[in-house]
Chain A
């Protein structure tokens, strides 16, 4: 029964061909205004496929969909004989038709503000005033590439900078920009990358985040004021209601985007890394605010065939290779909203191969189609663009098979009333079964897709396929005579040449080729070789009740050392500690005979677990940047610190400028996401720095412009900054423009935020204390403070703490008078003193570094241990929670195999919040597991073409002085 589904829409005189205002050169040519496609398999949306249906199109609109054949009088009919019609795919992440501004010649001296003329943002990477619609110019080659993948609609934007302006939804028609433009301002776009901006700021990812936050606050202020005209902020406010697309490159960036979204009550469509599977459990938290555009570029197999170099391939790279194609499937299973982008794909071949991989991963066809059709339309609030619906604009394409079949090709793309034939695929109708007669013989010829191997059947005599000449002409031999076979008009013709005579035979198509029996069993998803696990992440949160017995307890409290004691840990806290403590039922007993238990080590100065830049450093004052914005939870150094008994590290901004960034205090909760690492959300410290680094002494000959270049200038930077902060404080918070830089300084002056200051020479240490005194605050900690011993009395009087190295010196001029007796002299002078690492390697031997103060300066063993436990805890104002073994404190503890200050001691177990994050035996098991997983993944590559070079691990390691530009 032929049933008319709907035919409400009556074609009117409405001209969709949207170029009315343009004059025509010559006489008009019009496309076919009305057509009905018959015998088509119509995928009306991701869920519904109508087999052998009809689609009626008129004036660029869908006017009818019929579930079976319907003869429409007077309407031209195109018999698709089983071809498929799909609604146009929509790609939300593209720079189609947008020409990039070339990277400017950057003179090597620093550039502090934007070069752009006009009343725009101070920062060149902030250009929300950019409109893709004003830059867009349709481009035949790219349009063809998009159409060959089924994308009729593309959201294009200027893929450059941090605030990138608005993106336009365009179609992939190529005649004219007027026809192509669908929605000039369909979305706004952002990233963490400054791109072509030649300005120095931001140099780090945390700088980029601070810039985004400050810009949002500036926009809020802008809407309340009328004194200033700033077209960037004005544009940002205008586009605030548009969907916002946020490009990221690292899977952990999602959490960084999420923090911004929370702060400003926003939602983002994140153009993701494709490795989200690594954090899939943690991504649950971001669901409310983040939706995804997933890439279809999957990693190539890494080179592992050389046994001497296979170790260079990281476990993560192996996982990414296997898990990349499963990423979308895993996201789908966890209920995330996502669409796909062709960004980064070079050809339709790659695109269809990617779809096949998605299907092999176990993602079903409906979900794949949904991510190409409905989801992208919904994400940009244009659900009407999705699917084939009566009354909607014609955006669809025709394929010679299901897009999930092998060798599928897109034959035609229809955009409104325009039709784009895939000219490369002129041969698409060739495959089939043919018959012809030659000398009375009936010959059958099967031509398969692709056209490279026709099989020829002869009743008598012999025939064979000789060669493929080009895509639609081949040579076959029948009874030793060679024929050229090619498409001639609508038919196939075999021709041969003999003595100046061409003889031709017409081949009649009698139907499709006999398909080989299709495997009807369900496609089994490709099984992943091993479950994903971060190397060495083996914490078991369900085990949290322990009794450590017969152990020597270094309490770092007035109780001193308790011999043969017991410590009970439950629910993350120390429940009991002493000699007469009974082991409660249910507690897992750890026999500590011969072992020592100490508080977890606290590293006051560390730079581990930081992503893309430890220094902003482009300005003398960058108190707006926050290390906490760029934590890298996958840094193996978190685990390595655990193996040395470190349970908390204070992650500092580098020392490139006098007022650096806000620091982060983390607990070593290895295995969780960055959101889990934070010690306490209310922790507020900031890094300051003095001396050679802030003077840019060792940065080369070009770095002689940024103020300050002398210790004299350093003092005045502080005076100026706190003077500005003082004035800022006086403005009514209701009216003032939120200035993140000054907010942090005000917090310092109000003793809500505390300084840890990189320092070496006594003069500058003295200077900063004077500046602090004059503004009424205290410098909480001087870190490094290698000449602290020269002003120990002054430090004690000011009330500053000192966090120093055990024995470092002679690496730069300002440490020429450093002495390993520094800690002992400071401690004995009544200064709260700690030993820190500033170094991922030394961080895991801090007990030994503390022990050096016994050798240099004769501190007692207990005093020495306190230098890395309770003293840094006090310095960081967290001694109410950690730093000693006391009932009620956090169970951050280390069990040592020997005297904890001895070089012969190894860490047996490290507890954080009462959970075992490192254990000597579990570590050995983890090694074996890692080796097995790697072996399994590597052996799985033996039959695969290995083309990817070993990829570096993502954990860059930093030191204070690292100051390269990482934000391009």
Chain B
């Protein structure tokens, strides 16, 4: 039944193992029953529950993962998976369109389901990802996709769900991602005026019969909440500016990045703003900033009641998603919140929490199985994964090369 691309699950899965549900309770010796890809039972292991099932059917599978850890499939937000393969090979770059306003472009149709990079991320438990365009003022629309699929239509879980926007910062960020330099003041007032004009035009034209361009139309679903506005901003003053700006258009954005969120937690909570933290493995913004501030940020937000999710960055790096959340545990976040920050909370932001993101009755059986603690690299070895009850192929190009050269040097052992 190892079939990564099968369309529908027909089987009944009876799964036993340590269940980390990202819901109310976790079950150390847990039992989960899934029928046609949906969870029908979850709780402590219980013989009666199995007895009640008609286990004589040929499509009933017992999956005994005792001693192993079962988690909801991970969701990597704001990634470039499948829309770039090798960043420095221009031919493989499909994430940054020319121009400032690309509200109409959609990452979904550029998604390369055959990417060799995506499979290495999947094999570390990332079963879904939001693929997001970058660049310009308005980068374009993202979709939530599966990391295993025949084609982009098959991959789509939530099409064109979010619109990504780069807030024109008061601060000019310099350097590159792993090695940011000290920022300097910039003058971006003109760009904010530009945004104001775009959103005013969209607001005025929304609901009218006036002929409108597709870039403007792409903003309309933001007013109904059908589409989520993901605003990229890091500095406290920029976040405040952005939230208040969009409030005037009755839009509550999700802030992506949000490195200085710790200075404005009450504000974020008051305005009901959710945050996508991009990498806890970051350097502090300023020399004098607490050296562990990026590590502590999730715990600070959690303690302050600010909704947040955690992601890694770009494409291949997303295979370390679990460790980004793990670091937050080491610095004060509870393990269950850490799990939710890469499963349930991203699912909520993407509007798919009815079916994904946690292990609860009625949701899909979208799970990963780890030999040990998912969050610690020593033990985070993903053995199996299921999407809607269908087992996924966790092999990847790198494992193949490892096997090939192991055999070459050390023979078959």
Could you tell me which A residues sit within 8 Å of B by CB distance? Answer: 306, 308-309, 311-312, 314-316, 535-536, 636-637, 639-640, 643, 692, 697-698, 789-790, 792-793, 807-813, 816-817, 819-821, 825, 828-829, 839-842, 845, 848, 851-852, 854-857, 861, 899, 901-906, 923, 927, 930-931, 934, 949-953, 955-959
Contacts and interface: CB of A to CB of B under 8 A. Distances in A.
B117 A957 contact: no
Contacts of A309: 170-171, 185, 235, 237
Contacts of A637: 283
A957 B179 contact: yes
Contacts of B326: 903-904
B388 to A, nearest CB: 27
B178 A535 contact: no
A725 to B, nearest CB: 33
A959 B184 contact: no
B6 interface: no
Contacts of A692: 88
Of B326, B330, B375, the most chain A CB neighbours within 10 A belong to: B330
B166 to A, nearest CB: 19
A931 B284 CA distance: 15
A842 B171 contact: no
Nearest to A303: B185
Contacts of A809: 120, 316, 398
A792 B404 CA distance: 13
A958 B286 contact: no
A820 B291 CA distance: 28
| Shortest 8 CB-CB contacts between residues of A and residues of B | A957-B179, A308-B237, A952-B182, A953-B182, A821-B402, A812-B88, A819-B398, A810-B316
A840 B179 contact: yes
A825 B409 contact: yes
A901 B378 contact: yes
Contacts of A817: 401
Nearest to B400: A819
Contact of B409 (A639, A819, A828): A828
B378 A813 contact: no
A848 B182 contact: no
Interface string B75-103: 00000000001111100000000000000
Interface in B251-273: 260, 263
A720 B320 CA distance: 43
Contact of B179 (A636, A820, A848, A959): A959
A852 B377 contact: yes
B329 interface: yes
Contacts of B292: 643
Interface string B271-293: 00000000001111111111110
Contact of A821 (B283, B379, B398): B398
Contact of B283 (A640, A698, A813, A857): A640
B401 A903 contact: no
Contact of A959 (B176, B286, B329): B176
Interface of B: 85-89, 117, 120, 170-171, 174-176, 178-185, 235-237, 240, 260, 263, 281-292, 315-316, 319-320, 323, 326-327, 329-331, 375-381, 398, 401-402, 405-406, 409-410
B88 A698 contact: yes
B87 A904 contact: no
A647 B127 CA distance: 39
A819 B119 CA distance: 13
Given A306-B237, A840-B283, A959-B176, A312 B185 contact: yes
A842 to B, nearest CB: 7
Contacts of A807: 319-320
A266 to B, nearest CB: 34
Given A314-B287, A841-B179, A927-B290, 16 more contacts: A308-B236, A314-B286, A640-B284, A789-B405, A792-B405, A810-B315, A812-B87, A817-B401, A821-B406, A839-B179, A840-B178, A841-B281, A902-B376, A902-B378, A903-B326, A957-B179
Contact of A813 (B89, B240, B291, B377): B89
A594 to B, nearest CB: 15
B179 A792 contact: no
Contacts of A951: 184
Contacts of B235: 308-309
16 contacts: A309-B185, A535-B288, A536-B291, A640-B284, A792-B405, A810-B315, A811-B86, A817-B401, A825-B402, A845-B281, A903-B375, A923-B291, A934-B288, A952-B184, A955-B182, A957-B179
Given A841-B178, A950-B185, A957-B180, A312 B171 contact: yes
A807 B401 CA distance: 14
A960 to B, nearest CB: 11
Contacts of B179: 839-841, 957-959
A828 B408 CA distance: 12
B409 A829 contact: yes
Majority SS of interface residues in chain A?
loop
A869 to B, nearest CB: 17
A552 to B, nearest CB: 16
A790 B402 CA distance: 10
Contacts of B176: 959
Contact of B240 (A308, A315, A643, A811): A308
A813 B117 CA distance: 13
Given A314-B288, A857-B402, A903-B377, A792 B237 contact: no
B375 A841 contact: no
Contacts of B263: 311
A957 B181 contact: yes
A107 to B, nearest CB: 25
A640 B288 CA distance: 11
B412 to A, nearest CB: 15
Of B87, B180, B376, the most chain A CB neighbours within 10 A belong to: B376
A809 B120 CA distance: 11
B23 to A, nearest CB: 24
Contacts of A810: 85-87, 117, 315-316
A905 B295 CA distance: 13
B167 to A, nearest CB: 14
B115 to A, nearest CB: 9
A636 B120 CA distance: 35
Contact of A906 (B174, B236, B330): B330
Given A636-B287, A810-B86, A950-B184, A819 B376 contact: no
Contacts of B281: 841-842, 845
A639 B282 CA distance: 15
Contact of B288 (A315, A643, A957): A315
Contacts of A636: 287
Contacts of B288: 311, 314-315, 535, 930-931, 934
A640 B184 contact: no
A906 B316 CA distance: 26
A792 B326 CA distance: 33
A309 B171 CA distance: 9
B258 to A, nearest CB: 14
Contacts of A311: 236, 260, 263, 285-286, 288-289
A315 B287 contact: yes
A291 to B, nearest CB: 31
B384 to A, nearest CB: 16
Contact of A851 (B287, B315, B327, B378): B378
A640 B178 CA distance: 14
Contacts of B319: 807
Contacts of A848: 323, 377
Contacts of A790: 405
Nearest to B239: A308
A605 to B, nearest CB: 13
A953 B287 contact: yes
Of A842, A902, A923, the most chain B CB neighbours within 10 A belong to: A902
Nearest to B180: A957
Contacts of A316: 287
Of A637, A639, A792, A904, the most chain B CB neighbours within 10 A belong to: A904
A904 B402 contact: no
Contact of A825 (B240, B316, B381, B406): B406
